[in-house]
Amino acid sequence: MTNMKTVNEQNEAEKQILEEKEPVAFDTREYPVEILIGKYQSEEFVIPKYQRNFVWEEDKEKMSKFIESVILDLPIPYLFFADERETGKLEIVDGSQRIRTLNSFKNNEFELEGLEKLDLLNGFKFSDLPESRQRRFLRKTLRSIELTEKASSDVRRDLFERINTKPYDLLPMELRKGLYDGDFYNFIEECSNNELFLRLCPVSEKRKNRGESQELVLRYFAYADNYQNFVHSVEDFVDDYMKDKHKNGFERQVMKTQFENMLSFVEQYFPYGFRKSENSNSIAKTRFEAISIGVTLALQENTNLITNNILEWLNSEEFKEQTTSGSANNKTKVVGRIEFVKNKLLRL
């Protein structure tokens, strides 16, 4: 049986609640689909930088099922908006995928597919619906919560985090973009767009849209700075690093030079960059980490490093074992693969 809380503990807890409970000024509204589309097209809605790209566009079945839900009057989660103080426009805190799907459907940009309840609508575009059904669709309303201009940026950021901590929604890097938008995130994004990085570490457009390139760059800096203190969770480790740099600042030029020197070395000595072979279309995170950080550590010990036996160990079973998937959260593996590359380059 758990111990009963004392009156003093209850009072302290209540005090904390009152201290942390920031006033949230909001209105609830219902917008017809036609109005939502109109506001989106006239750019009255602002999709902030931290929002992800239109990833539903690559999943027509998901878009179709959302349209089906609207047609059938099934419950739709609230849209969340925030009043922009300077412009009076509405920032979309959550719901941009749904609004863009409505707009895309109205513009006949995709056909419905994968529907089960309304299976006879599969293959239909908006213009294929009878005019009466088109009108009814555009009159459908979606509920929204609108934070007024009185709501602070901290309230908006906190709301975004709480909405998007579902495992099926934002990926870790997309969430970090929303939580830590600022100088350090901009620096990570700048590095991820480095032409040499893109050439040595190609990422598909789909994965790039989900923050894969930024994720790799962030992991690089986090491990390069502190890999020996990694514990057991990559996500927590990288999150803590991101929070620290966002809050306490960073040495932009030093980090940029380090990153570029690493890339130059990889370009000169690694035949396929971070890829496993000339025909590889993807980059394993563990392989990227091992090579990029191993190279950085070796260059820190010998700035004039020259090597000519890369392929001997790069294609070895030992290196393959060090960089197998499933070893991402194993500290021994993390340290082992990084120092394996460093030691091979330094011929230790």
List Cα–Cα distances, 39 to 91, 101, 141, in angstroms: 11, 14, 14
Beta bridge partners of 46: 91
> pLDDT at position 34, please?
96
Q: Which one is predicted more confidently, 41 or 154?
A: 41
Q: Which residue has the higher pLDDT, 160 or 30?
A: 30
pLDDT at 324 over 80: no
**CA dihedral (289, 291, 297, 300) positive or negative:** negative
| pLDDT at 52 (0 to 100) | 59
Output the pLDDT for position 77. 84
Tokens of 123: 């293959």
**What pLDDT score does 167 carry?**
40
Look at residue 1 and tell me whether its pLDDT is greater than 50: no
The 10s digit of each residue's pLDDT in 252-289 is 999 999 999 999 999 999 988 888 888 877 788 889 99
Dihedral sign from CA coordinates of 179, 180, 186, 187: negative
- Give the pLDDT confidence score for residue 92 in this predicted structure: 86
Distance (Å, whole) CA 164 – CA 167: 8
Mean pLDDT of the residues in the chain: 84
**What is the predicted pLDDT for the residue at 296?**
95
- Long-range pairs for 223-231 at CB < 8 Å and ≥24 separation? 223/289, 223/293, 223/334, 223/338, 224/258, 224/292, 224/293, 224/296, 224/297, 227/293, 227/334, 227/335, 227/338, 228/335, 230/331, 230/334, 230/335, 231/331
Task: Show the DSSP H helices in the chain as ranges.
Answer: 7-20, 33-41, 60-71, 96-106, 131-139, 153-163, 172-179, 183-192, 195-200, 205-209, 212-226, 234-248, 252-269, 285-301, 310-314, 317-322, 331-346
Strand partners, 94: 80
Residue 55 in 3-state DSSP?
helix
Min mean pLDDT across 114-118, 242-246, 304-308 is at 304-308
pLDDT, tens only, 15-40: 777 666 655 567 788 999 999 999 99
C-alpha span between 136 and 63 (Å, rounded): 19
Task: Give residue 154's pLDDT band: very low, low, confident or very high (50, 70, 90).
Answer: low
Q: What is the pLDDT of residue 12?
A: 84
Residue with tokens 């490093």: 305
For 120-142, write each residue's pLDDT tens digit: 999 999 999 999 999 999 999 99
Structure confidence at residue 22 (pLDDT):
56
Would you state the torsion angle of the CA atoms of residues 45, 48, 53, 54, taken in this order, to the nearest 10 degrees? -20
pLDDT of residue 283: 83
pLDDT for the residue numbered 160: 63
Rounded CA separation 159/143 (Å): 17
Residue 299 clears pLDDT 50, i.e. is over it: yes
Instruction: Spell out the domain ranges in the chain.
Output: 28-163, 172-346
The string of pLDDT tens digits covering residues 184-210 is: 989 999 999 999 999 999 888 877 777
Q: Of 6-20, 154-168, 233-247, 265-279, which range is least confident?
A: 154-168
**Pair 220, 293: CB distance under 8 Å:** yes
User: What mean pLDDT is predicted for residues 112-119?
Assistant: 90
